[in-house]
């Protein structure tokens, strides 16, 4: 079943004479992953959950710009992908706790590398955008 990319060591093997197998884009796990995490909130939730488990409204308050609808959708998608675990606690007012699965924790590492880059170079991007606007 998973023959398609089983033997692929890395899509970023720049030394290859041929470019990346972009024809198989839809089947490519890289593009796939990015499209899942590429939405507005997934990565933020992952990062938040990486620090400690959170309850629903805890996440809601922490992100603060997200709607209930999107928070639910995001967290459910992450759960379906096996990155987040959802646990309903049998308390009197029902509580739901979200946490990272082991798989989700491993994702946190490369994610942090990218986030770190963004923090370090974010200003340069903003600057580039501003200068572009001026030169127009």
Where do contacts with DNA occur on this chain (CB under 7 A)? 39-41, 55-58, 65-70, 72-73, 76, 86, 93-96
* DSSP code of residue 23: G
Question: What's the CA gap between 44 and 63, in Å, rounded?
Answer: 8
| Position among 67, 68, 87, 103 found at the interface with its own copies (CB under 8 A) | 103
Task: Closer to DNA by CB, 13 or 128: give it.
Answer: 128
- By CB under 8 A, tell whether 2 contacts its own copies: yes
Q: At what angle do helices 42-51 and 56-63 cross, to 10 degrees?
A: 120
| Position among 72, 86, 87, 116 found at the interface with its own copies (CB under 8 A) | 116
Q: Total binding residues for its own copies by CB under 8 A? A: 69
- By CB under 8 A, tell whether 25 contacts its own copies: yes
Task: Output the DSSP codes for 117-130.
Answer: HHHHHHHHHHHHHH
| Position among 57, 67, 68, 106 found at the interface with its own copies (CB under 8 A) | 106
Q: Report residue 67: phi and psi, to 5°.
A: -90, 160
Task: Closer to its own copies by CB, 95 or 101: give it.
Answer: 101
Positions of E strands within 3-127: 54-55, 84-89, 95-100
Q: Which residues pair with 55 in a beta bridge?
A: 97
Find which of DNA, its own copies, none residue 72 binds, CB within 5 to 8 Å per kind.
DNA
């Amino acid at each position: 079943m998973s023959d398609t990319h089983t033997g692929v060591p890395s899509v970023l093997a720049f030394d290859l004479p041929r470019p990346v197998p972009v024809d198989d884009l839809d089947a490519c796990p890289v593009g796939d992953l990015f499209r899942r995490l590429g939405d507005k909130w997934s990565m933020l939730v992952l990062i938040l959950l990486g620090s400690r488990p959170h309850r629903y409204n805890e996440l809601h308050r922490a992100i603060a710009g997200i709607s209930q609808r999107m928070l639910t959708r995001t967290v459910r998608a992450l759960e379906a992908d096996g990155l987040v675990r959802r646990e309903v606690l049998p308390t009197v007012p029902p509580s739901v706790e979200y946490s990272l699965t082991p798989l989700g924790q491993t994702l946190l590492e490369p994610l942090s590398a990218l986030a770190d880059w963004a923090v370090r170079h974010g200003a340069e991007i903003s600057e580039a955008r501003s200068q572009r606007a001026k030169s127009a």
